[in-house]
Every structure is written in structure tokens, then in C-alpha cells.
A and B are shown apart, each in its own frame.
Chain A
Amino acid sequence: MVYAEGRCLSVRVLSIIPVLFVASILIFVAMRVVPGDPVTVLAEGSPLSVEQRQALSHRYHLDQPIVTQYALWIANAAHGDFGLSLKSNRPVSQILAESLPNTLLLLLGGFLVSLIISVPLGIFAALREGRWVDQAIISLTMLLLSIPLFISCVLAIFIFAFQLGVLPSFGTGAEGGIGSIVVHMLLPWTTLGLALVAVQTATLRAGLVDVLRQEYIVMAQSRGLPWSQVVRRHALRSALVPVVTLLGLQLSYMIVGSVFVDYIFGLGGLGTVLINAVNFRDLPVVQGAVMVVATFFALANLGVDLLASRLDPRYAIR
């Protein structure tokens, strides 16, 4: 049994490889078909001669056929070498390694904030199903969902930094210790977290409402168990399974959302790197960053599946 589970897990892990391979082809081709000349990135409007431009093109293999360019790139990428940035000439892997911690800080903090808000709200709404409190919570979370992230980021900066002057408008504050990090990250975490609250609250509420109607819950209550214990021990565990499985989907939203939040709050994470690289047609950096995101996404989905199978054996990996 254990052997079978291990084998299934290995197959799932290995299945990530073709996913990443297809992703690598898609991103490579996409970056070549969009308008714009990467040599221009290197020249950046400076009056280089034709010979100087050709030399730059040759140095970065941009004069090779696209298939050769891909083969060179994927062979090196397999060893963790994503090439050199066209813009800064620094190794892409180094650029990504510098930015990844800030992205993880944002994602984890944002997710934590979303849980801190959505779990109590979801439980509260479910326990008062159909009452005005329930309706108010659902309406509020839907309102949060309807505000685009780039608007909420700018609004947050405008209110708390620009007008009130009580919170910083950019940076992680890493140079000032933990207190400084918390203060600097409060707005980014909250804006990212609030964007996730609606779906999490609604899912938890729906799951809990459903579970609370199950016979075993009624049975547990009729045996004289306190209501709070019934909810905490029996209902919540089952109701959390859809929330966990939903995480896989939410992760993609979080990652996309984190790009905006990162850029607007100047956190120096993958979002800043990616947006600058796209703006300046820095192909190796875009490719490397997207591959990191794709890998992260695939691994995170696997992790979510594992977690769901732990919470409910019906979701076991097969």
C-alpha cells in the first residue's frame, strides 16, 4: 500500500517535467513572436553602428535560427543556467535568486492575512446562515473581489502613505529588522490578502453549511457535545478540504496578483523583475522568471493535492 502510494507520488512528480517542457516552448516562442527587437534592448536607442549591433546580436546568439536558440537555452536551463540578462549582463539565475525571497515573503504574508480574515468570516457567516450578518459578510467580500488589485494597491498607498503618512509606500524594509519588515509589508500583504478573502470565505462558508447539515453532525450534537466542539472538531475539518483544494486555483491568482503588488510597492521581487524585463525585451530574464513561476505553480499544486489527501482520504493521490 505504502509502496503504491510512493509510486503514485513519483509519477505525479515526474509528470511535472513534460508540463515544464511545454511551458518552456510556449514562453520561448511567445517572446519571439511579440513585436520588438531584442538588439534594441542592448542598444537602447544609442547610435550604434550596424557592425556594433551585429556583434551584440552574435554575442547573445540572436542571429541564430529560433530552434538553435531554443536548444541552446533549454540545454543550459536544465542545469539551472538561464543565460545572461541582455540588459545588465548578469546571470539570470542570480537575478532570480535575489528576487525570489521577496516574492515568497509577499505570497506567504498575503496568504496568511487572507486566512486570518477569511476563516473567522466564513465560520461566522455559516453559523448565521441566511441572516443579515451572513448577507453582509458575503456582500463585503464580493465588493473586495470586484476591486482590481492595481486599484487597491494605489488606493492603499494613497490613503495610508500619501494622505495619513503612517505607513511606507514602498520597499520591504529588510534593512531595518523584523519590525521594519512588518510595517513595510503591511499594505502589500493586506492588499494581496484581501483579494483572496472573498473566494476563501465563500468556499468555507458553503462547505461548513453543507457539513453542518450532515447526519453525523446532528448525531454528535444529540450526544450532548458542546456546539463549539462539534464545529471545531468535526465540521471544520471536513469544510476545510474544499478550501485547501481551492488553494491550487488561488495560487495562480496570487502569483499573478503578486506581480502587480510587488511592482507597485517596489518590493524587488519576481514581479518587478518580470515587468521590467518585459518592458525592455530582456528575453532571458522573462524566460527564466516564467519558468520559475511555472515550476513553483506545479510544485504548489502537488503540495495542495498532498495536503488535501491528508485531510480527507477520498482525495488520496492515485
Chain B
Amino acid sequence: MAKSVGSVSIDDLVGLLQAGRMSRREFVSSGIALGLSLGAVSAILAACGTSTTTATTGGTLTTGVVGAVGKFDPQGWAGFTSNIATNHVFQSLVRLNFDTSELEPCLATAWETPDPLTYIYHLRKGVKFHNGDPFTADDVVFSTNRSKKVSWGSYALSNLDSVTALDPFTVQVKLSKPDWRFKWFYYWPPGAILSKKYLESVGEDVAAQKPVGTNAFKLTSSTSSQVVLEKFADYWEKGLPKVDKVVLRVLDGSTILSGLKTGEIQLSPDVGFDQMTLASSFSNVDIKSRVGPHIVMTYMNTTKAPFNDVRVRQAIAEALDNAAALSAYPAKFYLPSKGAWIHPSFEFSAYNETNAVYTSNLDKAKSMLAQSSTPNGFSTTWTVAATRPQELSAVLGAQERLGKIGIKVDIKQLPDPDVAGATYTRPRPFDMITYNWLHNQPHALDPMAALLTTDALAVSNFPGYSNPAYDDAVAKAIVATDKTEITTHMRTLQMIQVRDVPLLVHGWDGIRRVAQKKLETPVQTLVAEYDDWFRPARLT
């Protein structure tokens, strides 16, 4: 007689296994629960001769992430793991369409721009926050003003004059001067809509632990090792989300890779760059990679010699051969640059023109250096994150090339947070430092305004570069209303950068998402990092 617990017997389990309705792992777990030894379970498995089959129903998705769990305030940066959660908990007035990357209605059903200084948004009715509070114009006013005060993206509101509720479902935004970038403010995390009533009643700290948004998933629990998101039953887009529950598990990179192979993990945005080739060999997973928004760059400290000499910087730029240094990485995951800063997928990119300035000619680089303030070369320290193989590869390749023109490079590897910290430290504690930048908005001006303007010297102008002509072109590009005029200024900015080279562009590494083939996820948008991919995701 077969052993049984409740109404389930071993015969039932074997039947489920043979029918492909139970995985081998589930069979082992259930078999042991019924009192079978591991040996007996293994013997049955061998006798059944089934292949690894995972149940296709259920609705719980496990996502492997490597970053620690932080706070859940979309306007206050808390790291990539928390960002994944807040991307699915919060949303804003508009969002990027998964297929076209164009703005599409979200919490606003429509918007208009009667003049370059005015934006009017018509809000969606019947939307609820996860705690049941109704969404109204007051929440938009509150969230926008809060973002200007506390958000990491407050720089995008530098030209905000006022935000007003014209009625419960209409909001008017007035700018102090024209700024075409504003139309993207309500798509990214700093533009997320929070519940005014909830925040004022529970306070900032509680709200950051127990977030309340309007998106398809609500956060039900979080510990240091996992975050659980569950389907929001009152979500305004009927029929979404398709899955009931999403669990973000904080795991070691190798464990994530193993989990993807075994099917225990359905998706991961954190498979290491050096593991992509192995992941590509798994027959059960599909890899999406968006190359473009993530730029790998080296910032030269232009506030000190010899990097305050533009001829030195140009000689270095001429000597680099990023294509050779990064040849180990498939083109699907990496596009090397010859000097261009903005990936061609972004509007106003002058990719072809700027990518033709340098030719990776060592003789030419040597002769350029000979004309500089250090004709015989010099020694320098190059700081790079030890945990980013693609960045390390770029630096190792550069070290070899620069050695041939008389520049001795000592590579200093630091943990990732320390490299980030060094870029923000003033005075700048580095000669050359490699760090990446993510396009926060889908246009070319995003990194160009943030990284090299005089206004940003104390914040994100890492090289310490200051050039009135550059500042002037940025200011003119922002207020321009004619597309041809914008294009002209954008080209000027990219040409100044490539000639002055305060920063070296190594290339663009892909924002990756590795998922089981049975899990349908949408196409990555142009920016990719803020996508709420679980909203339309479904198991097939």
C-alpha cells in the first residue's frame, strides 16, 4: 500500500511527475514530506526518467537580485533592488511605451502644452492607492513639490515655477523659462506620485518602509533578504497584472545563475557581465539587453596637472582602442566607442561625427603628447571598480596602450561604493576614475547637462570641467523651442566634449534582463532601468 499524507499518496506524486505537472524538485520535497528517504526518491526519479519540468501555472515569480534592500521612496534613491520594487509599486502621469519608447498616458489621460511655459495634465478618474485612498490632483501637486525639495532628480525641476490643482482632476505646471525636457519629468522615479494623505498621516519614515502607490503591485513585506510584491486587486488597468506575486530574492551572483538554470529563478536583472556568455548557453532562458542608456566613462581630473592640459587628454583619447580592449564581450551586450558620447539610439546624438575624431593611432597619440606640457610622458593612478569586469577590461586595455606612449598607469581597484564616493568627493581624490552614467531621460541632453556644466561642479561634474562656451550651449539647448535649433546646440556640445575630452567614453554596456523563456516580459524601453516589466508579464 502506498504511503499517503492527507489525500496525497506517493502514487499520486508519481502520476503528477509523469504527467509533467510536477517538477523533479517538487517531487523530492513532497516525497520526503511523505517519509521517503532521499535514496528512494532518487530511485523513483530515475525509474520515471522524466526531464526537468516546471509547473507553468501558479503566479509567483522569483527574481534574483544582488543588491541590498533599501528604502522604498521612489524620489529618494535607495539602490537598484529597491528601485525594482518602487518601479512596480509607484507610477506617474505618463510612462514610456514598451514598444516605441514614446510617452503614453498613465495616471494622466491626456496633456497639452498651450505655450512653452505651461503644461496641463488631465488626470485619470477612479484610480486608487494601495491603501484605498483615491488619486487626485492634490497628490500630484504634493509629489511634485516634494520631489523638488528632496528628490535626487530635483535638478530636472530647476525651471519649475509652480504646480497647481485647477480642479480635482486637472493639474497645471508653470515653468519659469522654457524647458523641453520637462515633458519627461512625470515618467521617471523622481516624478512618481505619492499619496499626500498617506504621507502626511504616517510620516516620511513609515511611508518609506510601507510604500503606498497606484501601480499594479503592492509591497506586502520586506526583509534584508527578500521583498514580496503582491497583485493589487483594485489596479486601474483591468486584467493586469497577470501574475499574483513577485518575490525579489537577494542572492549571490553564482546562485542566481544556478537558479536561472534550474528554473527556481524566473528573472534576474543582475546577472554579471562576465556571466552573460554562460547564461546565453542555457536553453531555458532568454536574454534581453538594451545597449545605449548605460555609458561607461573615465573622468579625468581636469583641476590638476597634467590633466588640465587639453593636449594630454587628447593624446590619451587618441591612444585608446576600446574595441580591442572590450572585444571579449558580445556586441549584443556591449558597444565600444571611439570617442562618441551619446549612443545613436538617443535623439540628438552626433554619434557618427564624434566617433570619427579619434583613430586609435599610437604614433599620432605619441606625437600629440610630445606637443603637450608633459612631452616625455608621466605616471598616473587610474581608479576603477573591482566588481565591474567590463570597466576593468577597458582600463586594462588603456593601461597597455598608454604605456606605449610613455604614460605609466597604476590601476587602483576599489569596491563599487567607494568608486562612487570618490566621484562625489571634493576636492577630487583621483587622477582618472572609471564610473558609469545612466541616462535618466530618453534624450541626449541628460548626461551632457549633468556631467560637464559649471553649475554641476559641486555635484555631478566629476571631471571638474568648466567651459563658458559649453555652459552657453547647454542653456540655449534647454530653452530652444525649434528642433533644428536644439539639434545645432546638441551637436556643439558633443563636439566640444570630444575635442576637450574631460571624460573618455569607453562604450555602452547593456542593461540586461535574463528570464525564463516561459515568462513573457515586454521589450525594454529606451532607458530600460525604470521599466515596470512585471506589470504586463505573464507565464506561458
Which residues of A come within 8 Å of B, CB atoms?
35-37, 39-41, 43-50, 52-53, 87-90, 95, 98-99, 154, 157-158, 161-162, 165-171, 173, 176-180, 182-183, 186, 263-268, 272-273, 276-277, 279-282
Within 8 A of A (CB), among B406-428: 414-415, 417-418, 420-421, 423-426
Q: Decide if A170 touches B459 in the complex (CB within 8 Å).
A: no
Q: Are A89 and B224 in contact (CB under 8 A)?
A: no
On whether the beta carbons of A166 and B42 are closer than 8 Å, the reply is yes
- Chain B window 230-268, contacts with chain A (Cβ cutoff 8 Å), 1 for yes, 0 for no: 000000000000000000011110110011011010000
Identify B224's interface contact among A45, A48, A177, A272, CB under 8 A.
A272
Given contact pairs A183-B29, A186-B38, a sample of 6 additional A-B residue pairs in the complex whose CB atoms are under 8 Å apart: A41-B417, A48-B152, A50-B458, A166-B45, A272-B224, A280-B417
B403 at the interface (CB under 8 A from A): no
Whether B33 lies near A35 (C-beta < 8 A) is no
Complex CA gap A56/B261 in Å reads 41
Closest 8 CB pairs of A and B: A179-B33, A268-B225, A40-B421, A46-B77, A45-B420, A46-B152, A276-B68, A37-B421
B460 touches A47 (CB 8 A): yes
Whether B122 is near chain A, meaning CB under 8 Å from some CB there, is no
Most buried by B among A44, A168, A279: A44
B255–A157 CB distance below 8 A: yes
Q: How far is the CA of A157 from the CA of B259 in the complex (A)?
A: 10
A171 touches B25 (CB 8 A): no
Q: Report whether A40 and B417 are in contact in the complex, using a CB–CB cutoff of 8 Å.
A: yes
Are A40 and B25 in contact (CB-based, < 8 A)?
Answer: no
In the bound complex, do residue A49 and residue B458 qualify as a contact, i.e. CB atoms below 8 Å apart? yes
Interface pair B224/A95, CB less than 8 Å apart: yes
Q: How far is the CA of A169 from the CA of B254 in the complex (A)?
A: 10
**B498 vs chain A, min Cβ distance (A):** 23
Contact in complex: A279, B68 (CB < 8 Å): yes
**Are A98 and B262 within 8 A (Cβ)?**
no
Contact B254 A264 (CB under 8 A): yes
Tell me whether A179 and B29 are in contact (CB under 8 A).
yes
A36, A182, A183, A272: the one within 8 Å of B418 (CB): A36
Complex Cα spacing A35 to B415, Å: 9
Q: Is the CB of B155 within 8 A of A169?
A: no
List, in ascending order, chain A residues with CB within 8 A of B459's CB.
47-50
Assess whether B109 is interfacial by the CB under 8 Å rule.
no
11 contacts between A and B (CB under 8 A): A37-B421, A40-B418, A43-B77, A48-B77, A50-B426, A162-B261, A166-B41, A166-B45, A263-B252, A276-B68, A279-B417
- Which of A158, A263, A276 is the most central at the interface, judged by chain B CB atoms within 10 Å of its CB? A276
Known A170-B251, A266-B249; contact A40-B424, beta-carbon cutoff 8 A: yes
A263 vs B250: C-alpha distance when bound (angstroms): 9
Which residues in A have their C-beta under 8 angstroms from that of B222? 88
A158 and B29 contacting across the interface, CB-CB below 8 Å: no
Q: Is B519 an interface residue (CB 8 A)?
A: no
- Which chain A residues border B116 with CB–CB below 8 Å? none
Residues on B with beta carbons closer than 8 Å to the beta carbon of A89 = 70-71, 205, 208-209
Task: Give chain B residues whose Cβ lies under 8 Å from the Cβ of A178.
Answer: 33
Q: B33 — which chain A residues lie within 8 A by C-beta?
A: 177-180
Whether the pair A165, B25 counts as a contact (CB closer than 8 A) is yes
Q: A298 → chain B, closest Cβ, in Å?
A: 24
A residues in contact with B258, CB < 8 Å: 157-158, 161-162, 169-170
User: How far is the CB of A316 from the nearest CB of chain B, in Å?
Assistant: 42
Check B152 against A266 for contact (C-beta < 8 Å): no
Known A99-B225, A168-B25: A266·B251 in contact at CB below 8 Å: yes
The verdict on B402 contacting chain A, using a C-beta distance below 8 Å, is: no
Once bound together, how far apart are the Cα atoms of A165 and B249, in whole Å? 20
- Asked if B225 contacts A266 (CB within 8 A), the reply is yes
Chain A residues with CB below 8 A from B28, complex form: 166-167, 183
> Which chain A positions have C-beta within 8 A of B209?
88-90
- Of the candidates A87, A165, A179, which one forms a contact with B68 in the assembled complex, judged by CB atoms under 8 Å apart? A87
Q: How far is the CB of B277 from chain A (nearest CB, A)?
A: 16
Interchain CB contact (< 8 A) of A169 among B42, B68, B255: B255
Q: Which residues of B contact A186 (CB under 8 A)?
A: 38
Residue of A nearest to B436 (CB): A45
Q: Does B327 make an interface contact (CB < 8 A)?
A: no
Q: Is B78 part of the binding interface, using a Cβ–Cβ cutoff of 8 Å?
A: yes
CB neighbours (8 Å) of B175 from chain A are none
User: Which residues of B approach A to under 8 Å, CB–CB?
Assistant: 24-25, 28-30, 32-34, 38, 41-42, 45, 52, 68-71, 77-79, 150, 152, 154-155, 205, 208-209, 222-226, 249-252, 254-255, 258-259, 261-262, 264, 414-415, 417-418, 420-421, 423-426, 435, 450, 456, 458-460
Contacts of A52 in B (CB 8 A): 150, 152
Residue from B155, B261, B417 having most chain A Cβ neighbours under 10 A = B417
Q: What is the CA–CA distance of A279 and B79 in the complex, to the nearest angstrom?
A: 13
B255 touches A166 (CB 8 A): no
Chain B minimum-CB-distance residue to A285: B224
Given A44-B417, A170-B249, A266-B225, residue A162 in contact with residue B29 (CB < 8 A): no
Distance A201 CA – B433 CA, assembled complex (angstroms):
52
CB of B540, distance to nearest CB on chain A (Å): 21
Looking across the interface, which residue of chain B has its beta carbon closest to that of A96?
B224
B63 to chain A, nearest CB (A): 12
Q: Within the complex, which residue of A165, A167, A177 is in contact with B52, where a contact is CB–CB below 8 Å?
A: A165
Whole-angstrom distance between the alpha carbons of A277 and B225 in the complex? 12
Q: How far is the CA of A171 from the CA of B251 in the complex (A)?
A: 9
Interface-centre pick from B29, B222, B415 (highest chain A CB count, 10 A): B29
Q: Determine which residue in B69, B77, B255, B460 has the highest number of CB atoms from chain A within 10 A of its CB, and name it.
A: B255
B77: chain A residues within 8 A (beta carbon): 43-46, 48
C-alpha spacing A241/B429, complex, angstroms? 57
> What are the residues of chain A within 8 A of B262 when measuring CB–CB?
161-162, 165, 168-169
Q: What separation, in Å, do the CA atoms of A103 and B226 have in the docked complex?
A: 16
- A99 near B224 with CB under 8 A, answer yes
Query: Are A170 and B224 within 8 A (Cβ)?
Result: no
Residues from chain A with a CB closer than 8 A to the CB of B24 are 165-166
- B252 in contact with A47 (CB, 8 Å): no
State in angstroms the CA–CA spacing of A281 and B418 once bound together: 9
Contact between chains at B417 and A88 (CB < 8 Å)? no
Contact A272 B250 (CB under 8 A): yes
Closest residue to B222 on the A side, CB-wise?
Answer: A88
Contact, CB under 8 Å: A43 / B254: no
How many angstroms from the CA of A50 to the CA of B414 in the assembled complex?
A: 23
Residues of the B chain whose Cβ atoms lie less than 8 Å from the Cβ of A264: 252, 254-255
* Bound-complex Cα distance A170 to B259 (A): 8
| Assembled-state Cα–Cα distance A65/B219 (Å) | 38
* B contact residues around A169 at 8 Å (CB): 255, 258-259, 262, 264
CB distance from B266 to the nearest CB of A (A): 13
With the chains together, A260 CA to B56 CA distance in Å?
33
Evaluate whether A179 and B155 lie within 8 angstroms (CB atoms) in the complex, with A98-B224, A161-B262 already known. Answer: no
Decide: A36 and B421 in contact? CB cutoff 8 A: yes
CB proximity of B260 to chain A, nearest CB, Å: 10
Cβ-defined contact, B415 with A36, below 8 A: yes
Q: How far is the CA of A170 from the CA of B425 in the complex (A)?
A: 39
Contact A273 B424 (CB under 8 A): no
Complex CA distance for A237 and B81, rounded to whole angstroms: 52
Contact A268–B252 (Cβ < 8 Å): no
Given A47-B459, A47-B460, A87-B79, answer yes or no on A170-B255 (Cβ-Cβ < 8 Å).
yes
Partner pick for A273 among B25, B34, B224, CB 8 A cutoff:
B224
CB contacts (< 8 Å) of B251 on chain A: these are: 170, 266
Q: How many angstroms from the CA of A127 to the CA of B225 in the assembled complex?
A: 47
CB distance A43 to B458 under 8 Å? no
User: Please, which residue of chain B has its CB at the minimum distance from the CB of A281?
Assistant: B417
Q: Which residues of B contact A282 (CB under 8 A)?
A: 68
Q: Quote the shortest CB–CB distance from A167 to chain B (angstroms).
A: 7
- B447 CB to nearest A CB, Å: 11
